[in-house]
Amino acid sequence: MPKVRPFKGIRYNPEKVDPGSVLCPPFDAMSPQEAEDLYGASPYNAVRLVLGRQLPKDTKTDNRYTRAREFFAQWLKDGVLVQDREPALYYHEHTYSLGDHTHTRRGVIASVHLEDEEKKTIRPHEYTQKGPKLDRLRLMNEVRMNFSSVFGIYSDPKKTVENKIRHSLGNPDMEFDHHRESHRLWIVKEKSVIDAFVKLMAGRKILIADGHHRYETARTYRDRMRAATGRSDGSQSFDYIQMYLANRDERLSILPTHRVVPDSMGVGLVDLEYRIKEIFNMIPYDNRKSFLSALNRGGRGTLGLFVKGIPRYYLLELSEDAAPDAFLPVALHPLLKALDVTLLHECILEPILGISHAVSGSRLVYTSSAETALNLVTRDKADIAFLLNPSPIDDIMQIAEAGLKMPQESTSFHPKVPTGLVFHSLE
C-alpha cells in the first residue's frame, strides 16, 4: 500500500512576493503565449523553474535547465524561497468556477514513496511519450527537486480528511487569489493529524490523474541515484515524489479533451461520411449552441464533428444497428472498447485520417475548450474538430485497476494542480 510521509517543504516567502503572482500550471499545460505571460507576471514566477525560455545561444552548460537551477539557488539565497524547519503535510483548498457553478477541491500535498507498476497500488491510466520524460529528466538532474505535484486520487467514501483532519485546523497559513480562483493553504505539523492521514493512505490505492510523465521520470531518476550512491534501502529522498492527493468522492471535475486536426491531408466530409455512416448516425445542426447542448446531453458513443468549409455541425451517435467491435482491434480490452475516445481513434482517426497513436502527438491539437476547437476550424487554422464528452471517473478508475491504459490526453482533471504552492527536495 502507498507509503506517505511529511516533508520539509520549500515555499515562497509571502513577505517577499505575492503568492498569487508566482503560480503557474504544470509544464505540459502551458502554451508558449501563456508561458510568456507568466514571465511578465513576476520575476519570481515558477515558470522560470519548470519551463524556462530556450535561447539561441544555449549550450550544454548554459540552458533552460541550468538557468532553473541558478534561479532556484538565488531565490533561496535571497529569502524569496524558504524551507520549513519541520516536516509537514500541506492541506490545500482550491475554489474555482466551472460554467455557472462554483466548486472547491481539497487536497493534501505529501511525499509519497515511488512504486514500480507491478506493485499495483499507484496506478497510471494513460500512455506517455519519450520526449517529455527526457525533458523532465534533464531538469531533475540539474535541480534535484520536484517543483510540480503529481495529481493522485484515492477513494474514501467516509471523507476522513474532510470530516476529521480539516476540522482540526485553524485559520489557513496562506490565503490568496490567482486568476479569479482562490487558494487556502495550511501547513500541517501536528503529529496526530499527520499520523491520521498516513494511516488513511496506507489502506488506499492511488490513481495518477495528472503527471504521468513526471512520475515515470522520477522512477528513472531514482534508479540512477540508487546506482550512483549505492543507497537502495528505499528511504532516501529520491525514493519519494511530491503528490497532491484528493478524494474521488469529493466530486472532482473532469473536462473532455477534444481532438483538432490541423492538416487532414486532403480528407474531407465526403470521405469521413462514407465510413462514419457505417457506425454512427450523423445528425446535422445549423446552430453551434444547440449542437453543443446536444453533445453535452449525449450518452456513451456520442461525438461531435465540424469540418472546414462546411457550415453545419454534426452530432455522431452510435447506431443501434452498428457493430463497433467489427472495427476495433480484437485484442482490445472490453473496458477500452467502451470508451468514446477509443471509438474516435480506432474507427475514424487511424483508418480514415491515418493518425495512429504513434503520430497523434504531431498531428493533433488537444484542447478542453469546445469553443477553441471549433474556432480553430472557422478561422482556417485547422481542417477538422472532433469533440468528446469527458470520461466518467468510474470508467477511469476501472481501467487503472485493470492495469490498462487509455490513449494519451484522454482525460483532463480540472483545474490543474498549480506549481508554486510548495516544492519537494530530492536531496
Q: Based on the domain organization, do 47 and 196 belong to the same domain?
A: yes
Q: What tens digit of pLDDT does each residue of 200-256 get? A: 999 899 999 999 999 999 999 999 999 999 999 999 999 999 999 999 998 899 999
Question: What CA–CA distance (Å, rounded) separates 239 from 231?
Answer: 10
Sequence-distant (≥ 6) Cβ neighbours of residue 245 within 8 angstroms: 4, 107, 108, 109, 110, 112, 152, 153, 154, 201, 206
Are the beta carbons of 294 and 285 closer than 8 angstroms? yes
Q: Based on the domain organization, do 202 and 276 belong to the same domain?
A: no
Q: Which amino acid is at 403?
A: G
Looking at the 3D structure of the chain, how many domains does it have? 2
Is it the case that residue 386 has pLDDT exceeding 70?
yes
Whole domain around residue 180: which residue ranges? 4-253+414-425
Q: Based on the domain organization, do 79 and 228 belong to the same domain?
A: yes
* Rg (alpha carbons) of the chain, rounded to whole number: 23
Position 13 confidence tier, pLDDT thresholds 50, 70, 90: very high
Q: Could you tell me if residue 394 is inside a domain? A: no
Q: Based on the domain organization, do 212 and 289 belong to the same domain?
A: no
Question: What CA–CA distance (Å, rounded) separates 210 from 124?
Answer: 9
Would you give the distance in Å from CA 52 to the centre of its chain?
A: 19
Position 149 confidence tier, pLDDT thresholds 50, 70, 90: very high
User: In this structure, what is the dihedral angle of CA atoms 167, 172, 176, 181, given to the nearest 10 degrees?
Assistant: -10
Q: Could you tell me if residue 404 is inside a domain? A: no
Q: Based on the domain organization, do 249 and 262 belong to the same domain?
A: no
> How many other CB atoms are found less than 10 A from the CB of residue 131?
10
Q: Based on the domain organization, do 170 and 42 belong to the same domain?
A: yes
Q: Based on the domain organization, do 245 and 262 belong to the same domain?
A: no
Please give the pLDDT value at position 217: 97
Closest-CA residue to 41 (of 27, 20, 25, 26): 20
Please give the pLDDT value at position 395: 92
Per the omega criterion (within 30 degrees of 0), is the bond before 56 cis?
Answer: no
- Angle (CA) 327-393-300 rounded to 5° is 35
Q: Which of 34-48, 76-90, 154-168, 293-307 has the lowest mean pLDDT?
A: 154-168
Q: Based on the domain organization, do 218 and 322 belong to the same domain?
A: no
Q: Could you tell me if residue 65 is inside a domain? A: yes
Q: Based on the domain organization, do 382 and 418 belong to the same domain?
A: no
Q: Based on the domain organization, do 236 and 311 belong to the same domain?
A: no
Q: Could you tell me if residue 294 is inside a domain? A: yes
Q: Based on the domain organization, do 249 and 261 belong to the same domain?
A: no
Q: Could you tell me if residue 403 is inside a domain? A: no
Is it the case that residue 322 has pLDDT exceeding 70?
no
The sign of the CA dihedral 71, 74, 78, 79 is positive
Q: Could you tell me if residue 398 is inside a domain? A: no
298: domain CATH number is: 3.30.1760
Q: Based on the domain organization, do 171 and 41 belong to the same domain?
A: yes
Q: Could you tell me if residue 336 is inside a domain? A: yes
Q: Could you tell me if residue 405 is inside a domain? A: no
Q: What tens digit of pLDDT does each residue of 165-198 get? A: 888 889 999 999 988 899 999 999 999 999 999 9
Please give the pLDDT value at position 279: 87
Q: How large is the average pLDDT for residues 79-93?
A: 97
More confident residue, 68 or 159: 68
Beta bridge partners of 12: 81
